[in-house]
Amino acid sequence: MRTLINSVDSIGAALAQAVHFDHIYAADRIEEAVRADLDSVVATAVAPLAWATNQAPSQDLYAIRRLQEVMATCRISQVTLISSCAVYPKPVAVNEYDPVSPVMLEPYARHRYELERWCQDRWETTVIRLPHVFGGPYRSEVRNPARDLARLAALNPESTKQHYDLTRLASDLRVVKQLGLKLVNLVTPPLTNRRVLGDLLGVPPLPGAELVRKVLRDVRSAHAGAFGGADGYIESADQELDRIASYVGSEQPVPVMPAPAMEGG
């Protein structure tokens, strides 16, 4: 029996569309799972924007504690936890074998790392760490793909993000299961905001964007080859850009809205 818990986000919606689950418990009715026999569980932590959580972490922590309280009452044989690459405090040239120091983490990352450890202490657990995600049938933050990308114009153009297409998550999880992996970073090559905006939308950075704090992300995977990738990444930069372009499709850029002077997610 296969169960999906906390499905009201883009990650859960993508999985629910691509994989058959015997039971699906959304975040707003998670208590229905209390004392249930769930067997094999895929759990997605609540996924708000990282910068918002770091400014006001109490709501995020409450949601994760609520998830833990419910799961603790259930009969579970195995957990696949969808987590975040944000758990690496210095996310450059690190992979699954690099240790995590929770004292160095901001709330968003620390909450997710603590949830990883909590699950690992109780059940056979596989942890999947994702970078910035896009795609899937449901957008919890922004429903217009072009607007989602255009917001990068307010961030430092030389900052990098790693963009993961949720339409490949179900197949990637099958590979993880076949190989018996317990911790996997499903990561793509880092792309500068300037490259994504210029190549896909023709949107220039906003005036003053270069003064925003530059954030570099370059998390890698020791298992990239198992997913058809190389050099620590599960696909090439060109493949990553092609996937983003396909997601944007025929959407046209919209007026750029100012963003906070910090990055997250």
Q: What is the pLDDT of residues 173-215, one digit of tens each?
A: 999 999 999 999 999 999 999 999 988 888 889 999 999 999 9
Query: What CATH number has the domain bearing residue 229?
Result: 3.40.50.720
Note the pLDDT of residue 224: 98
Note the pLDDT of residue 257: 37
Is 99 among the domain residues? yes
Q: How confident is the model at residue 42 (pLDDT cuts 50, 70, 90)?
A: very high
Phi-psi group of 10: left, alpha or beta (phi > 0 → left; psi -120 to 50 → alpha; rest → beta) = alpha
Q: Indicate whether 166 pLDDT > 60.
A: yes
Is 164 among the domain residues? yes
Is 118 among the domain residues? yes
Task: Render pLDDT for 126-153 as a digit per residue (tens, 0 to 9).
Answer: 999 999 998 876 554 445 677 777 788 8
Helix or strand (DSSP H, E) at 169? helix 169-179
Is 261 among the domain residues? no
Place of tokens 């429903």: 143
Is 262 among the domain residues? no
What is the tally of structural domains in the chain? 1
Its domain, for residue 244, covers 2-248
78, 126, 171, 183, 265 from 121: Cα distances, Å: 12, 12, 27, 14, 26
- Tell me the percentage of the chain whose pLDDT exceeds 90: 64
d(CA 217, CA 12): 24
